[in-house]
Amino acid sequence: MFGSKSIFATLAIAAAACSAAAQEGAITPEPSGRFPTGTSVLHLIDPARSYGEESGRPLVIQIWYPAESSVAARAPYHPEFSSIAEQLDDEGRRIYGVAETRSGLDAEFARSESEFPAVVLFHGLGQSRVHYTSFAEDLASHGVAVIGIETPGAAAVVAHVDAGLIPFDDSWTLSPPDISLAEMFRRTDARLLDWVADLEFALDTIENDHAERFGSKIRSDRVGALGHSLGGKAAMAACARSVRVVACANLDGWPFPSDAEVNGFDGAFLYMSDVRLATPQELEEWNSSIQEYAGNMDRLRDRVRRFFGKLDQRSYWVRVEGLPHGYFSDEPLIDPREQIEGAPLDPEGAVRLVRSYVSPFFLKQLGGDAAPELDVAVEIEVLGRERHVTEADD
């Protein structure tokens, strides 16, 4: 959500912090693994599919990976900034024009006799794959290649070297008055099949057309899927429909895709969500009492638990008290206008908390590493500074 093109409104603006960030330039947090990280961008077109009235579906793919060394030039936060700058407001141009990452741009892939595991990354609606750079870099620092897909029409804007600028498709957020909410969810679930096809195409293309640089170094037959919000639903859809996807993580995406919720899937699952605390103003706006709201939350919790009961693989639900939806990305870290007054964690603290579960989850599922934060639990509730665990039945 870049500047004036944001799809969702924040509740507060940290104006003073904006100026400081714009002058100094934001940078992603230091990754926790041993590898330096690199990143490269590919501009692809799937000739077997179309987008709108044009033949071919354009995709921008960014790969974060373990690098051989950290000598390469540091990558900008948004590699296509020069192409999208005119789409931003003045403050957005100042912020994204100087923001940097920890990754070396086009650095040499780490040398290894074995392939590295991979995770495919789906962004939230109206956002960009770059808004999850902190999570991607952390995984890459532990030896996991992360393949971020910029979804045409669902991203704020896509800058493709051949297809040009692809704007956000407003039909994602329009709710025709003659259809039900259930029908809207059904249509959204159907559109997520394109995202699953994007995953398959990206993996095939990297393996076949970019084998020397990437394909021979990445294991593409057994991968993870990670997503936030709508992207989290896409990750679950991929887990349900792609034989390649053996583990998926959904960051605060709800409701779950209907086919996945009804039937479950074979892959391991991590769900991180906000423990929603309604304000008196929200209750008044919704014409709801605190008792009615609490009842709805209890029913939602029961619904999620029923879904978990359908999963064969070890799966986890991490609930974080009061963490705003956008804080499951690093966008508030980069753009202070997305910060919310009263959030339980500052943006960097939120990033570190989320990645402290995401990285161990995928390292355990794809590499067999121990995950002390997860090994004894099926439900984890982070309330303030305390961590409450519901133990697994082992």
Q: pLDDT tens digits for 318-332?
A: 999 889 999 999 999
What residues are paired with 159 via a beta bridge?
165
8 Å CB contact between 203 and 97: no
d(CA 130, CA 76): 10
Q: What is the DSSP letter of 267?
A: S
d(CA 344, CA 227): 22
What's the pLDDT score for residue 219? Answer: 95
Q: Answer whether residue 385 shows pLDDT above 90.
A: no
Pairing of strands 315-321, 377-383: parallel
Q: Answer whether residue 393 shows pLDDT above 80.
A: no
Closest CA to 345 of 325, 327, 319, 318: 327
Residue 106 backbone zone (phi > 0: left; psi -120 to 50: alpha; other: beta): left
Token pair for 18: 């904006």
Can you say whether the dihedral through the CA atoms of 225, 51, 127, 59 is positive or negative?
Answer: positive
What's the pLDDT score for residue 135? Answer: 98
Q: Answer whether residue 293 shows pLDDT above 90.
A: no
List of residues 6+ apart from 129 with CB closer than 8 A: 60, 62, 121, 123, 148, 149, 150, 155
Query: What's the pTM?
Result: 0.90
d(CA 327, CA 148): 18
What's the pLDDT score for residue 283? Answer: 81
60-64, 151-155, 343-347, 375-379: least confident range: 375-379
Rg (CA), the chain: 20
Buried b (16+ CB within 10 A) or exposed e, 212-236: ebbbebbebeebbbbbbbbbbbbbb
Give residue for tokens 């995202």: 195
What's the pLDDT score for residue 175? Answer: 67
Q: Answer whether residue 24 shows pLDDT above 90.
A: no
List of residues 6+ apart from 159 with CB closer than 8 A: 60, 80, 83, 84, 165, 166
Question: Cβ-count burial of 50 within 10 angstroms (0-12 exposed, 13-18 middle, 19+ buried)?
Answer: exposed
8 Å CB contact between 279 and 210: no
Give residue for tokens 């990976």: 65
168-177, 192-201, 203-212: least confident range: 168-177
Closest CA to 128 of 263, 256, 227: 227
Query: Phi, psi at residue 256, to the nearest 5°?
Result: -65, 155
- At residue 296, the 3 state secondary structure works out as helix
| Amino acid present at 302 | D
Q: Write the pLDDT tens digit of every residue in 219-242.
A: 999 999 999 999 999 999 999 999
151-155, 176-180, 199-203, 240-244: least confident range: 176-180
HSE-up of 124 (CA within 13 Å, CB side)?
22
8 Å CB contact between 46 and 376: no
CATH fold for domain 3-391: Rossmann fold (3.40.50)
d(CA 50, CA 335): 33
8 Å CB contact between 69 and 36: yes
Instruction: Give the percent of the chain with pLDDT over 70.
Output: 89
15-19, 31-35, 153-157: least confident range: 15-19
Give residue for tokens 């961008």: 41
| Amino acid present at 25 | G
Q: Write the pLDDT tens digit of every residue in 82-122.
A: 999 999 999 999 999 999 999 999 999 999 989 999 999 99
Q: Write the pLDDT tens digit of every residue in 176-198.
A: 667 777 788 888 999 999 999 99
d(CA 116, CA 35): 12
Domain ranges of the chain: 3-391
Rounded to the nearest integer, the mean pLDDT of the chain is: 87
8 Å CB contact between 39 and 105: yes
Q: How confident is the model at residue 22 (pLDDT cuts 50, 70, 90)?
A: very low
- Cα 139–Cα 140–Cα 142 angle in degrees, nearest 5: 70
Give residue for tokens 């355990």: 364
Neighbours of 93 (CB within 10 A): 18
Q: In whole angstroms, what separates CA 114 from the centre of its chain?
A: 27
Q: What is the DSSP letter of 26?
A: -
Q: Answer whether residue 64 shows pLDDT above 70.
A: yes
